[in-house]
Structure 1
Amino acid sequence: MTSLDPQDLSQGEAAYRSLHAAIRKGLYQPGDRLREVEVADRLTLSRTPIREALRKLESDGIVEHRARIGAVVRTLSQTEVVELYEMRVVLERTAAEMAAKHASDAEIDALEEVNQQIKAAGDDALVASAFNQDFHRCVYLATRNRFLLESARALNNALILLGPTTLADEARIKVVCQQHNDIITAIRAGEPEAAGAAAETHLQTSLRQRLKVMRA
């Protein structure tokens, strides 16, 4: 068996990270076909590392191979979306509860700042979505629990398969920011039960919005 050149491995990892980021940013949506030549041109890489990246993304569950079509960004079914949000509720309720016990004033201030950035995004859905991801990441970091963080990372691949953000208008962003504020208020007050309840309410609202988008 021929060993792989370290440079090839480096290029393969670079291709994987670039393509993973492109899917996360929405440049490739669930259901989109990933043609090696087109992806290589778009990411200015050669086909060999792109092929390696596609295989790795397939093992991650992000990409699937369809007969007579090739590599495609995987699409979650409604049942899978509901199951995903059920896990998010469990993890994010726990994260909010633990943040209420451990978060520093600086970390809580950071949550408020990110929430203001979401509000300031207006109707720019992509910017609002990026800051929204930052908000939830900050809550997890404030738990000071490495095992909870690792569990959250395990959901990341599934989360990028949800498709376009639901933060498509200012009315929706207003609801999200208010619910985030409820979480922040409970965390700052050091009230784990209230923080967990606010996080669960937020995720349930998000699930209803996600299912509404899927039915449209």
Structure 2
Amino acid sequence: MTRVVLVGLLLCVPLQLWLAWDLRDPDRTLKEQLVHFKRLLVDGVDWWRRWYFRSLNSVRSLWRKTSRYNLYHEECPAKEVEMYRMSKGFFGQSPDVRPYRPDYLKLRIGQVVRVDNFENPGVIISWDLYARAPEDWLAEKYGKNLELRKEPHYRVLLGQPNSKEVYVPQRQINVLKATQVRHPKVSEIFHGFDGAQYIPKERLKKNFPLD
């Protein structure tokens, strides 16, 4: 993208100067014409330079907004966004071990569930005792509802045809029985299905030892 803008810059400056030079005042002396052309050259280059950096900043701003949209709406995030998630521990991505399970935590990793507003089943791959997410995401989703923010949240891998991950409060989840989830990532996280739920592999089991 930067190269395209740069090529446009290089092409437009000579065109602007050519048009300005072509429309020069015939009553001016040669010296006045040269001074005028020099001023056009300096002003033109300066204008296009500022335009170039404004355009570049606009592209960067659009990229940041797109990345945040992907992060908050669970839409195939880029690798950089995924690393950001993990480093902040947002959306169930914290690598910290969950050393205990309070009574109000009703669900476990590996359980097959149905999430409100989604028809296809999913499997729980992580949980937090309360919503861990950026403040602006929480404000947009829950407003001032502190009860929802403090409720346990689960990261759920939804099967086909949605095939995405969602981060939802406990009240929006219902457990399913004898149901499997079709998603290529399932085999990367779990050993298999035992007829009731999925058996986590060692890495996941290490983070959730009591599940």
Report the TM-score when normalising by structure 1.
0.26
From the CA coordinates, give the structure whose radius of gyration is larger.
2
Compare the two structures and name the one with the higher helix fraction: 1
Report the TM-score when normalising by structure 2.
0.27
Compare the two structures and name the one with the higher strand fraction: 2
Higher relative contact order (CA 8 A, sep 6+): 1
